[in-house]
Amino acid sequence: MAKASEMNNGGQSGNGEPYFCKECKRNHTKGKIYKDHLKFAWFEIDKKEIEEESESNEKELESEVEEIFESLEEEEDYIIELNEMEEELELELDSDSGSDSNEVIINDANVSVEAVKKLPGVGEATLKKLIKAGFSSLESIAYTPPRIIQNESGLGDKTTAKLIKASMSQLKIGFKSAEDVWEYRKNITRITTGSQELDDLFGGGIETGCVVEFFGEFRTGKTQIAHQLCVNVQLPEEDGGLNGNALYIDTEGTFRPERIIQMSEGLDLDHKKILKNIIFGRAYNSDHQILLVKEATNLIKEKNIKLLIVDSLIGHFRSEYVGRGTLAVRQQTINTHLHDLLRLTDIFPELCIIVTNQVQSKPDVFYGNPTVAAGGNIVAHGSTIRVYLRKGKGEQRVAKMIDAPHLPEGEAVFSITENGITD
Ligand code: ADP
Ligand code: MG
């Protein structure tokens, strides 16, 4: 507490000079002690006393603080409980609206949850465990290995096996006629790359329902293609887009909104809207990267994601797993990660996945043919297309189709300009 004398002299008057004291409402002489001002001094004494007292009672206070923390923790538990109850309530409300035939269900995610809920043996508790682990659709259950469902949801092996079997039978997964496969392939849509030649190499643009890998040396245009596709996927179908949004997992820190703005302007698009529809995740290590892909499962339907980018796929794995002894584990982890991605194309056939890979020289020694590695239900309609990029003259780049189940080998020349990818 500042003294009144100090408050009122404004630092102007010297000793012996008069000044008006606002507290006492009369004139004082600077330097003199006034009786009324003792009450201000008293406050200071009081503060000291409190401090002394608090020092002697420190232990008491500490235990008090502990108690407060404990009660806060209890409160936190209570809030978590409340949230869970709220979630449950929401689920119930969803099911209520679902049974009302006049009501239009806007959220697709609820529709798939409803289907899971109707599986035999799925009660509230099982449903909650499945949703919490990210298995909120029949597809995600049918296409995921039982071991993973068990580990992530905490459900028993018998329950898991039953759920997978029921999901598969509802989705009519098993042998099918070539006609059915053709029916599926007819529904495949494509995103334009911005270059007619490059689109032709892919048979008319980059198709949905598969993982496309662009690999090549540094500065060959992998990241630029990824940026361009994030813009182009948002175009209407008649303009070569999918009318959808993009999810970009950046492992190298090379995502540049500035480039998105330039590319949007090159197509006369509102760059603010384009930027808003690109969900961005920076992966700081391989574990984080794996986690982001798992989280993506829940975002795809909710955010109308039609394109998922992982730029780059194995950079982190390469720097984290060094030395000969780690090679096997590294390959296994990459393989599982790639399977996670392939599974996404099975769960969401309308999704296009692009991964990039940096290579020094021969690409083939890097890891085995992922199409071969991808087994089980995944090969049924998931596939991997590999394209090798190299530098041409100036801004030109050459793309070579290396590995595609249904596309002829060939090459395309395209350019990287300020406005993005063109012929
Ligand atoms: P990487 O294959 O390593 O991911 P990038 O996709 O980042 O390579 O490509 C980098 C190349 O893209 C640069 O060397 C340059 O040729 C081209 N590029 C980047 N930004 C622009 C721009 N604003 N205007 C024209 N070309 C650009
Ligand atoms: Mg790059």
Residue nearest atom 5 of ligand 1, based on CA coordinates: 221
The answer, yes or no, to whether any atom of ligand 1 lies below 6 A from the CB of 390, is no
Report the separation in Å between the CA atom of 219 and the middle of ligand 2, taken as the mean of its atom positions: 7
- What is the gyration radius of the CA atoms in the chain, in angstroms? 32
Distance CA 367, CA 369 (A): 7
Instruction: State the ligand closest to the CA atom of 421.
Output: 1
* Short-list 230, 234, 181, 225, CA closest to 201: 225
pLDDT at 53: 54
Residues 330, 296 contacting (CB under 8 angstroms): no
CATH superfamily for 76-171 is 5' to 3' exonuclease, C-terminal subdomain (1.10.150.20)
* 3-state SS string for 299-335: HHHHCCEEEEEEECCCHHHHHHCCCHHHHHHHHHHHH
Q: Global pTM?
A: 0.64
* Short-list 198, 201, 186, CA closest to 349: 186
Report the separation in Å between the CA atom of 221 and the middle of ligand 1, taken as the mean of its atom positions: 6
Report the separation in Å between the CA atom of 220 and the middle of ligand 1, taken as the mean of its atom positions: 7
Every domain of the chain with CATH number 3.40.50.300 lies at 188-422
Residues 207, 250 contacting (CB under 8 angstroms): no
Every domain of the chain with CATH number 1.10.150.20 lies at 76-171
Question: Both tokens of residue 213?
Answer: 């890998």
Block mean pLDDT (10 aa), the chain, length 423: 40 63 79 62 42 59 65 59 54 42 42 86 92 84 85 92 89 74 79 97 92 91 98 96 96 95 96 96 92 86 93 88 77 82 85 86 44 27 73 94 81 96 95
Helices (H), 100-215: 108-117, 124-132, 138-142, 146-153, 157-170, 178-186, 196-201
pLDDT at 78: 56
The answer, yes or no, to whether any atom of ligand 1 lies below 6 A from the CB of 218, is yes
Q: Judge: domain 188-422, CATH 3.30.1330.10.
A: no
Q: Which ligand 1 atom minimizes the distance to the CA of 216?
A: 2
Give the amino acid at 374: A
pLDDT at 402: 83
